[in-house]
Structure 1
Amino acid sequence: MSLAIGSYEKLHDLSDGSDLLNLAWTQDERDLLSVDVMATVSAELAAEVAEELPYVGDYLVKDPYGEAVLGPVAAEFFGRPGWAASVTCGAGVGPLLHGLSLLAAGGTVEVVTDVYPDYPHWVTRAKGRCVPYGSGPRGDLLVLERPALRDERFAHLDAVRDLCTGAAERGAVVLVDESNANYLPPDFSAANLAPEVPNLIVVRGLSKAYGLGGVRLGYCVSSPTATDLVRAVVSPLGTSSLSLRIGRRVLGLGDVTSALRAGIARAKPYVRDLLAEAGLPAPVTAATGLPYVLFPNQPRRAVELLRERGVQAKVQPVWSAATCALTEVGRMSVPLRKDRLHNLRNRLDGRKER
């Protein structure tokens, strides 16, 4: 079981209701994209039908990792056409990380930032071990999130490059989980370093910001050298042909999140202040770009207090880089539509929406 997925099990619903504002996850992001992504997906599905289902009927045995379909458009998305990097696709970020945990089988992983607990969990099941970065034992692999929930040490590409250089000196690989990087522009991505950094693997998807988790498409960007490692552990033919078609079309839209980024930047400090004024325990904003307010202290109490006001947040499991143990943080998504912001303010003031 994915520990992160398990954190949703006890939530009553995943949509708003008359007596509940659901902020356990973000569900109004697509309204701020510069294109109608769902209309784009619908048009692509209609084209697939009009063309007599060529992708549905095609078993891509000659392109088992989806590189021929997604690779060129990924290069264009990052502004690097013709780059010397490879793309390896899978059925979402989670399944890719599950496969990549085998890189640490019987070895040591240094956890550089706090991460979702799934990868360390899978490393342990593969008879590997996780240790804090720089704590003494040298890892065969270093793992970090960009952007991490709160840690911004690696927000700039130079910091990632330096990390990779240090790791390469001892033959280690750096794995970057960029699940959340859709909230930032393409030039933020460590994928831009892949053509020049041989020991870097960057994992991304279409769930965050795009709201296309159901398409089940994730992709790794890596140098040819690192790609050999990736494809030794990631299953071929893990992505449906139709998902690849949709992903190619969506990435081909380019950077569609600039207005979303601006909306998050406006709303996040306002929401944090609302929560503080309502007496919630020490709310803090998540790292730049992320649409969350966090409760690192008393996470369960914070979620309980919000629930009493008709607001659903969640207790997010986190693997601590400092202790290499499972911890928790309270997490509330920032509402972005004006009506949902108004709804939140009323509930925090003790007035339910009617």
Structure 2
Amino acid sequence: MPLAIGSYEKLGVLTDGADLLNLAWTQDERDLLGADVMTVVAQELTAEVAEALPYTGDYMVKDPYGEGVLGPVVADFFGRPGWSASVTCGAGVGPLLHDLSLLAAGATVEVLTDVYPDHPHWVARAGGRCVPFGAGPPGDIVLLERPALADDRFAGLDAVRELCTDTAERGAVVLIDESNANYCPAGFSAANLAAEVSNLIVVRGLSKAYGLGGVRLGYCVSSAALTGAVRGVVAPLGASSLSLRIGRRVLGLGDVTSGLRARIAANKPYVRDLLTAAGLPEPVAAADGLPYVIFPEKPQVVVESLLSRGIQGKVQPVWSARTGALVAVGRLSVPLAAHRLAELESRLDRTATP
């Protein structure tokens, strides 16, 4: 089973060029945030040097999971200071999901929504198995993404709370990949339930929306009862001390994505209309907040058609919660900057503006 990172292998350069508008991923988000996060990062790096590199030289063996540094600011980010939930840090969402797959060794993971194929791949490598939810005997772990690519059944916290309550009765753990939830308000996150229920693990990072994937920092918010289980599989010292310093400052800014959310909401339906008017199969809007349109049918044909017009999309592998097999969808990131939207219009022979 290929990993999601493989979907980039056949792409050329990953930035715009004279002959290419690259919409394989979103690269115009940061200017729409309520704070200049790159300036914030630069300030932290400057302070690190001015203070004689305290974090760079600190091995942090007394805080191996980063909870001492990041835990309080994560609690404040969700407006829940002093909560009983635990925070466990790692080198990004992907590595954390890799480690958490060890919870499924010899166990069954029920998958509720379509997910990136990485975690199911690692579950299989650990000796577990992934099955569509309800396709057999109840599983030991329930996996879902929030927001899912095109599935809003668990968009509300009441639905997640009910899921946790129901699965707790049979001793199952609910594992939620919220790497895309940076596109949503802080109140959207299932992390807000972690101190209320006993069987929840929520994984988040700084890549989406913030554009800070290179910082390599992800964090799990989990119910206190699961702290031992999470830290039994997540490698200690996975997040660098310097990344924790930067992450603490960035999350300390609070919710800075409201402007980004507004632009995504404005541009996404317009881009769908552009694509349809250009003769492409009608795209499906990804879930609320996500800056994507997707093509479930004939994704390779669609991506090749776009590329012939100088527009780079991508064929994204997905583990299907309906079939329990790997499928592919075409994905196009919605251009957010005005000049990139105008470039898309030009390449699709349209001149209107939203």
TM-score (normalised: structure 2) = 0.98
Q: In the alignment, which residue of structure 1 is the partner of 2:219? A: 219
Q: Is 1:175–2:175 an aligned residue pair?
A: yes
Residues 21, 311 of structure 1: 8 Å contact kept: yes
- SS of residue in 1 equivalent to 2:226: helix
Q: Is 1:257–2:236 an aligned residue pair?
A: no
Residues 272, 282 of structure 2: 8 Å contact kept: no
Identical residues among aligned pairs (%) = 76
Q: In the alignment, which residue of structure 1 is the partner of 2:164? A: 164
- Paired AA for residue 167 in structure 1: T
Q: Is 1:242–2:211 an aligned residue pair?
A: no
- The Cα of 1:137 is off from its aligned counterpart by 1.9
Q: In the alignment, which residue of structure 2 is the partner of 1:206? A: 206
Rounded Cα–Cα distance in structure 1 between residues aligned with 2:72 and 2:142: 28
- The Cα of 1:166 is off from its aligned counterpart by 1.0
Rounded Cα–Cα distance in structure 1 between residues aligned with 2:296 and 2:31: 29
Residues 268, 334 of structure 1: 8 Å contact kept: yes
Deviations 1:134-178 (A, max 9, x none): 122211000000000000000000000111111101100000000
Q: How does 1:147-162 map to 2 (within 5 A)?
A: 147-162=147-162
- The Cα of 1:187 is off from its aligned counterpart by 0.3
- Paired AA for residue 262 in structure 1: A
Rounded Cα–Cα distance in structure 1 between residues aligned with 2:220 and 2:154: 19
Residues 292, 332 of structure 1: 8 Å contact kept: yes
Deviations 1:242-270 (A, max 9, x none): 00000000000000000000000000000
Residues 309, 350 of structure 1: 8 Å contact kept: no
Residues 20, 312 of structure 1: 8 Å contact kept: yes
Rounded Cα–Cα distance in structure 2 between residues aligned with 1:287 and 1:41: 30
Residues 72, 81 of structure 2: 8 Å contact kept: yes
Q: Is 1:30–2:21 an aligned residue pair?
A: no
- SS of residue in 1 equivalent to 2:332: strand
Q: Is 1:65–2:30 an aligned residue pair?
A: no
Structure 2 segments unaligned to the other structure (5+ residues): none
Q: In the alignment, which residue of structure 2 is the partner of 1:96? A: 96
Q: In the alignment, which residue of structure 1 is the partner of 2:194? A: 194
- Paired AA for residue 68 in structure 1: G
- Paired AA for residue 163 in structure 1: L
Rounded Cα–Cα distance in structure 1 between residues aligned with 2:270 and 2:25: 18
Aligned residues: 351
Q: In the alignment, which residue of structure 2 is the partner of 1:130? A: 130
- Paired AA for residue 142 in structure 1: V
- Paired AA for residue 189 in structure 2: S
- The Cα of 1:103 is off from its aligned counterpart by 0.5
Q: In the alignment, which residue of structure 1 is the partner of 2:303? A: 303
Q: Is 1:42–2:26 an aligned residue pair?
A: no
- Paired AA for residue 11 in structure 1: L
Residues 184, 257 of structure 2: 8 Å contact kept: yes
Rounded Cα–Cα distance in structure 2 between residues aligned with 1:8 and 1:227: 34
- Paired AA for residue 279 in structure 2: G
RMSD of Structure 2 on Structure 1 (CA): 1.0
Deviations 1:273-320 (A, max 9, x none): 000001111211100000001001111111001000000000000000
- Paired AA for residue 23 in structure 1: L
Rounded Cα–Cα distance in structure 2 between residues aligned with 1:137 and 1:319: 20
Rounded Cα–Cα distance in structure 2 between residues aligned with 1:137 and 1:29: 43
Q: How does 1:250-329 map to 2 (within 5 A)?
A: 250-329=250-329
Structure 1 segments unaligned to the other structure (5+ residues): none
- Paired AA for residue 234 in structure 2: V
- SS of residue in 2 equivalent to 1:7: helix
Deviations 1:175-215 (A, max 9, x none): 00000000000000000000011100000000000000000
Q: Is 1:87–2:87 an aligned residue pair?
A: yes
- The Cα of 1:350 is off from its aligned counterpart by 8.3
Rounded Cα–Cα distance in structure 1 between residues aligned with 2:302 and 2:12: 17
Rounded Cα–Cα distance in structure 2 between residues aligned with 1:234 and 1:295: 35
Rounded Cα–Cα distance in structure 2 between residues aligned with 1:213 and 1:2: 21
Residues 217, 244 of structure 1: 8 Å contact kept: yes
- The Cα of 1:70 is off from its aligned counterpart by 0.1
- Paired AA for residue 59 in structure 2: Y
Residues 316, 330 of structure 1: 8 Å contact kept: yes
Structure 1 stretch displaced more, 131-140 or 97-106:
131-140
Q: In the alignment, which residue of structure 1 is the partner of 2:343? A: 343
Rounded Cα–Cα distance in structure 2 between residues aligned with 1:186 and 1:226: 22
- Paired AA for residue 135 in structure 1: A
- SS of residue in 1 equivalent to 2:196: coil
TM-score (normalised: structure 1) = 0.98
- The Cα of 1:228 is off from its aligned counterpart by 1.3
Residues 22, 312 of structure 2: 8 Å contact kept: yes
Q: In the alignment, which residue of structure 1 is the partner of 2:55? A: 55
Q: Is 1:8–2:8 an aligned residue pair?
A: yes
- SS of residue in 1 equivalent to 2:204: strand
Residues 274, 350 of structure 2: 8 Å contact kept: no
Runs of 4+ in 1 over 4 A off after TM superposition: none
